[in-house]
Chain A
């Protein structure tokens, strides 16, 4: 059989693939075929572009954070994905895949969610496109992300609280996959990140690459050249792939993925199969998946997208980690210095930017992908003081 959906790295290392039950192969092949048609379909592309501009609010600004720049000693730019409709980069993907589901004639959208950002982004698209939505969410996350649960419900989504296993994103995905096996004829599984079985990593990358394309254009307009570094937080890794994708060939642009210290699959994990693909996974020596832990629900995931694993192996992206405490400090710093409340996920990338203080020349340009806004995290932040 021909191998599909792999990301290659040296020494025969491969990542990705399709590690799913026989029952999911045909549904996934159908999604893949429809996705290929969708990309070539001028009418769908036009509909997508109109929605991205008028509904989602693209392009998002690339903002030079001058107060923080002064503090850090280099030029810091923020790609303002926090400003798009829904409050995070997730909407880029859900609008795209929502249209794909409509294109396929599916009658229901299902999705997993951790922080609730992806869940909300699916809920709003479901309302917009008039497709009913079911969101699978770990019971622990339902508790700690009440605001997003309310937002999803307001848009008419049904929330399924998952009480098995870790009661977080990992088990929400398990449960959504189980439901999908039984309902793939009518349901579309709107996967939220660049992980999962082929073709999800490729589909999500396709709809998120607009972040990088805009950033590339914008930074050139602003400074007349490419940036020195780009920083993005990595849970499953979709916002990072989105912004990195446009710069992978520019070796002079250093790309840095920032993981949560206790969810750092790429730094503390081993290669294994989880949720349909081969990638770095937090696991014990017997292959049982470990639970991650992070103050940022969106980074609280023991796996990571397979393309990140390949980028790590070829050394194109450097992966670092940030603790809960460092992320919280950065959260406050951005609020106080720039009047921007970042998502705790994005605050991890800000925290690493802070660590670069004094290490770069004055006119060095660093871009942080500010993937989401922090309104959803206020309870968590106040609870932690």
Chain B
């Protein structure tokens, strides 16, 4: 079952933009992280993105980095993180969120030390659907893409205004599931306004690829989701804005964000 295919097809039929909340696995503890994910599930998100923490997350801004540090301080390891993914998947099955894909975000050294094949295999078995390694560009992806193919996980790539058509075609050879469109050249974080040229970037990408476009970095407000829908994006990832919100205050912001991507 390809949960991405199912979900994107449904979104297209319902003519809406998908909502994808993000959390760092084990932030600040496995139990509290699970409580956070349950809050996310309350608003019936279309996707989940989960980060496996790394000590030196260079693609992330201060909010996600602090979350990584909290999780690591409390003993989170890749093995425990994958166990937590399994638990989250079982909660989702119980609550009948069968089609919600789980995407994993991490950094290359985590995967190297765990063992590339083993990492992909264990994630697949735990119920994950895709993996994005923030510091693996096309040039270094061969071994990872092989493992992704073998264990039927989607290898996700970042694309930006720097990704020209030639590169996009190469990315399509190794990547599947969706493209993670970086809204702005920079790191993850909260931004008040979407950059004006983002519309153009999305239009340009749509012309040259059939892969769904999921936009991330800086997305933090309901109006961002509305704007992204107008621009033609298929889904939006909200990370830092949620990660910095304490679990007890999550309901309000989650409701506002998910209302911007209303279900019929």
Q: Which residues of A contact B (CB under 8 A)?
A: 1-4, 17-27, 164-165, 170-171, 174, 177-178, 181-182, 184, 270-276, 281, 283, 285-289
**Inside 8 A of A274's CB, which chain B residues have their CB?**
56, 109
Known contacts A25-B138, A165-B56, A276-B135: A178-B187 contact under CB 8 Å? yes
Shortest beta-carbon distance from A316 to chain B in Å: 25
Known contacts A286-B78, A288-B55: A164-B65 contact under CB 8 Å? yes
Q: Do B135 and A287 have beta carbons less than 8 Å apart?
A: no
Q: Do B158 and A272 have beta carbons less than 8 Å apart?
A: no
Expressed in whole angstroms, the Cα–Cα distance for A28 and B177 within the complex equals: 27
Q: Do B140 and A19 have beta carbons less than 8 Å apart?
A: yes
Q: Do B113 and A182 have beta carbons less than 8 Å apart?
A: no
Expressed in whole angstroms, the Cα–Cα distance for A285 and B160 within the complex equals: 33
Q: Say if the beta carbon of B43 comes within 8 Å of chain A.
A: no
Q: Which residue of the partner chain, among A184, A272, A289, contacts B185 with CB atoms under 8 Å?
A: A184
**Inside 8 A of B135's CB, which chain A residues have their CB?**
19-21, 273, 276
Q: Do A287 and B162 have beta carbons less than 8 Å apart?
A: no
Q: Say if the beta carbon of B69 comes within 8 Å of chain A.
A: yes
Q: How many residues of B contact A (CB 8 A)?
A: 43
Q: Do A17 and B185 have beta carbons less than 8 Å apart?
A: no
- Closest 10 interchain pairs by CB? A287-B113, A182-B186, A22-B158, A26-B162, A288-B55, A287-B109, A272-B109, A273-B108, A289-B55, A273-B109
A-B contact list, 30 entries, CB within 8 Å: A1-B142, A3-B140, A18-B137, A18-B140, A19-B108, A19-B135, A19-B140, A20-B135, A21-B137, A21-B158, A22-B138, A22-B157, A23-B162, A23-B185, A24-B137, A165-B56, A174-B57, A181-B185, A182-B184, A182-B186, A272-B112, A272-B113, A275-B56, A276-B135, A286-B77, A286-B78, A287-B114, A288-B54, A288-B55, A288-B72
**Inside 8 A of B140's CB, which chain A residues have their CB?**
3, 17-19
Q: Do B139 and A1 have beta carbons less than 8 Å apart?
A: yes
Q: Do B112 and A25 have beta carbons less than 8 Å apart?
A: no
Q: Do A287 and B54 have beta carbons less than 8 Å apart?
A: yes
Q: Say if the beta carbon of B170 comes within 8 Å of chain A.
A: yes
Contacts A18-B139, A25-B139 aside, 12 further interface pairs with beta carbons under 8 A come to: A1-B138, A19-B108, A19-B140, A21-B158, A23-B185, A174-B58, A177-B58, A178-B187, A181-B186, A184-B185, A288-B55, A289-B55
**Inside 8 A of A273's CB, which chain B residues have their CB?**
107-109, 112, 135
**Inside 8 A of B74's CB, which chain A residues have their CB?**
none
Q: Say if the beta carbon of B134 comes within 8 Å of chain A.
A: yes
**Inside 8 A of B58's CB, which chain A residues have their CB?**
20-21, 174, 177-178, 275
Expressed in whole angstroms, the Cα–Cα distance for A181 and B158 within the complex equals: 13
Among residues of A, the one whose C-beta sits closest to the C-beta of B77 is A286
Q: Do B114 and A23 have beta carbons less than 8 Å apart?
A: no
Expressed in whole angstroms, the Cα–Cα distance for A165 and B72 within the complex equals: 12
Shortest beta-carbon distance from B81 to chain A in Å: 10
- Number of A-B contacts defined by CB within 8 Å: 114
Q: Which residue of the partner chain, among B134, B137, B142, contacts A25 with CB atoms under 8 Å?
A: B137
**Inside 8 A of A25's CB, which chain B residues have their CB?**
137-139, 162
Shortest beta-carbon distance from A336 to chain B in Å: 41
Mask, B129-145, CB within 8 Å of A = 1, is 00000111111111000
Among residues of B, the one whose C-beta sits closest to the C-beta of A285 is B113
Expressed in whole angstroms, the Cα–Cα distance for A273 and B151 within the complex equals: 23
Which among B72, B109, B112, B170 has the greatest number of chain A C-beta atoms within 10 A? B109
Among residues of A, the one whose C-beta sits closest to the C-beta of B164 is A26
**Inside 8 A of A1's CB, which chain B residues have their CB?**
138-139, 141-142, 170
**Inside 8 A of B111's CB, which chain A residues have their CB?**
287
Which among B56, B160, B184 has the greatest number of chain A C-beta atoms within 10 A? B56
Q: Say if the beta carbon of B62 comes within 8 Å of chain A.
A: yes
Expressed in whole angstroms, the Cα–Cα distance for A164 and B187 within the complex equals: 15
**Inside 8 A of B61's CB, which chain A residues have their CB?**
178
**Inside 8 A of B136's CB, which chain A residues have their CB?**
19
**Inside 8 A of A272's CB, which chain B residues have their CB?**
109, 112-113
Q: Do B187 and A181 have beta carbons less than 8 Å apart?
A: yes
Expressed in whole angstroms, the Cα–Cα distance for A96 and B62 within the complex equals: 33
**Inside 8 A of B59's CB, which chain A residues have their CB?**
21, 23, 181
Q: Do A23 and B139 have beta carbons less than 8 Å apart?
A: no
Q: Say if the beta carbon of B230 comes within 8 Å of chain A.
A: no
**Inside 8 A of B141's CB, which chain A residues have their CB?**
1
Expressed in whole angstroms, the Cα–Cα distance for A110 and B170 within the complex equals: 32
Among residues of A, the one whose C-beta sits closest to the C-beta of B180 is A22
**Inside 8 A of B257's CB, which chain A residues have their CB?**
none
Which among B135, B139, B140, B163 has the greatest number of chain A C-beta atoms within 10 A? B139
Which residues B98-123 have CB closer than 8 A to chain A?
A: 107-114
Expressed in whole angstroms, the Cα–Cα distance for A2 and B159 within the complex equals: 19
Expressed in whole angstroms, the Cα–Cα distance for A106 and B73 within the complex equals: 40
Q: Say if the beta carbon of B85 comes within 8 Å of chain A.
A: no
Q: Do B112 and A22 have beta carbons less than 8 Å apart?
A: no
**Inside 8 A of A270's CB, which chain B residues have their CB?**
113
Q: Which residue of the partner chain, among B110, B138, B142, B160, contacts A287 with CB atoms under 8 Å?
A: B110
**Inside 8 A of A18's CB, which chain B residues have their CB?**
137, 139-140
Q: Say if the beta carbon of B242 comes within 8 Å of chain A.
A: no
Q: Do B112 and A170 have beta carbons less than 8 Å apart?
A: no
